[in-house]
Amino acid sequence: MTASSDNGGIVKNIFAGYFILLLHVLLLVVLGLFIVFFRGLVLYLPWIVGGLTVLLLLSAWWFYRRYRRGARSLAGALAAVPTGRAVEISLLGGLASMRVGAPVAGAGGGPVPLQLEDPRSARLRQLDRLLEMYQQQLISREEFLALKAELLAALPEEQDSGQGTTIAIRCETTEP
């Protein structure tokens, strides 16, 4: 019974040895290809750069000839770009993009500053946080009243309507 199990082990070892030899041959072939490729790249680099330069010049000549044949000049083709608004140019699926043109003008004629939240709602949110801190007893009543007065004094007055806005915050505490 041991003879059959030894034969299976010997066959496995022979196949493993051949597999290792095959991997070594494959490694040598890949290494040889890398040497040939990089040596060829270094030897033929001036030809590669020269060919790419010629290809670039030929494409520029073809572009110029095409616009001349269409009875348009390059300045006329570029005049079709919309003026007075920004144009975004995206390359490689948005990987590289740039915006060309005038910035968006505001009411005063200048660029509009980016603003995510109006100051009034930001201050109201700060007041809400202040009230939560007071209710959790993280700040004292005097600190709460001083900070509340400071925030309410910083609120801008409404210019459009003649009425003032009153904000009342009621705080109740239960003393232990």
Q: Is residue 125 part of a domain?
A: yes
Q: Is residue 143 part of a domain?
A: yes
User: What whole-number distance in Å separates Cα of residue 88 and Cα of residue 27?
Assistant: 49
Tell me which of 27, 52, 79 is where a domain ends: 79
List 90's β-bridge partners, or say none.
Answer: 97
CA distances from 62 to 52, 71, 72, 121 (A): 15, 15, 14, 58
Note the pTM of the prediction, 2 decimals: 0.28
Provide the residue range defining the domain that includes 8. 2-79
pLDDT in 10s for each residue of the chain, 176 residues: 455 556 677 888 888 888 999 999 999 999 888 888 888 778 888 888 898 899 989 988 888 887 777 656 656 666 666 666 777 777 777 778 777 766 555 545 555 556 677 777 888 888 889 999 999 999 999 999 998 888 888 765 544 444 445 555 555 555 54
Q: Is residue 92 part of a domain?
A: no
